[in-house]
Each structure stands twice: as structure tokens, then as C-alpha cells.
């Protein structure tokens, strides 16, 4: 009886190891040309992808992956350029002029400009 239990446990262990190795091999066989694809596991559909209307976490999860602001924070919480290459602060901080980095383009290849940010 004890011998058969040991054999059964060994068989189960071998099956589990085989399944694990098979899983590891299969995940490495997927295509590696996923440039430009974003896959996010969500619990539902985001109500909006407009960052002016978003008030829920689902929308923010997607928006933060597909949108870039004019600036961002570094690891020390200093404001650094993102889409803006640089900016000027005028009128004692009441007016900001952002200079858009020309390398940024929309998915259709057209350059991003200040109107896109103003309209958002």
C-alpha cells in the first residue's frame, strides 16, 4: 500500500514537471514581433479613453499606456520633458509655453502639435 502511494506521487510529480516544461516551451514559441501592441488584462471595458472625462481606474489603466503628456516625473519627482522638448515659464508662472519635440508623431505619421494638447 505504501509503495503504491509513493509510485502515485512520483507519477503526479512527473506529470506536473512535464506540464510546467511544456508551458515554458510554448510561451517562448509566440511571435516576437509585438512592437506596437499593448495587451492589458482588464476586468471590463473602460468607459472612456478621453483623459478629460476619465474618472475610473479602468480608463486610467489604458490611458496611461497609450497617451503621453507634455511632461512627466522622474524617480525623484522632478518634472522632466515627455512630449515637450522644453518650456518657458512667463508672467510669474501664469503662462507656460511648451515646445513640442518633433520626433513625436501620431499613429498615422502626422506630427503632434500644440493644438492636440490644447484641444484635450
Looking at the structure, give the CATH architecture of the domain made up of residues 68-120: Alpha-Beta Complex (3.90)
DSSP for 45-62, written as a single string: --S---TTT--SHHHHHH
- Summarised one tens digit per residue, pLDDT across range 65-101 is 888 889 999 999 999 999 999 999 999 999 999 999 9
pLDDT tens column, 25-60: 666 665 666 666 777 788 899 999 888 899 999 998
Give this prediction's pTM. 0.55
Domain ranges of the chain: 68-120
List CB contacts of 33: < 8 A, sequence separation 6 or more: none
> In this predicted structure, what is the pLDDT of residue 29?
60
Average per-residue pLDDT in the chain? Answer: 84
Amino acid at each position: 500500500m505504501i509503495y503504491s502511494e509513493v509510485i502515485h506521487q512520483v507519477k503526479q510529480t512527473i506529470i506536473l514537471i512535464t506540464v510546467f516544461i511544456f508551458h515554458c516551451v510554448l510561451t517562448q514559441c509566440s511571435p516576437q514581433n509585438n512592437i506596437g501592441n499593448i495587451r492589458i488584462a482588464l476586468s471590463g471595458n473602460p468607459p472612456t479613453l478621453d483623459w478629460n472625462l476619465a474618472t475610473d481606474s479602468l480608463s486610467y489603466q489604458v490611458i496611461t499606456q497609450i497617451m503621453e503628456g507634455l511632461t512627466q516625473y522622474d524617480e525623484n519627482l522632478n518634472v522632466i520633458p515627455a512630449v515637450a522638448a522644453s518650456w518657458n515659464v512667463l508672467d510669474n508662472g501664469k503662462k507656460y509655453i511648451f515646445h513640442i519635440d518633433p520626433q513625436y508623431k501620431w499613429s498615422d505619421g502626422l506630427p503632434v502639435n500644440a493644438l492636440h494638447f490644447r484641444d484635450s
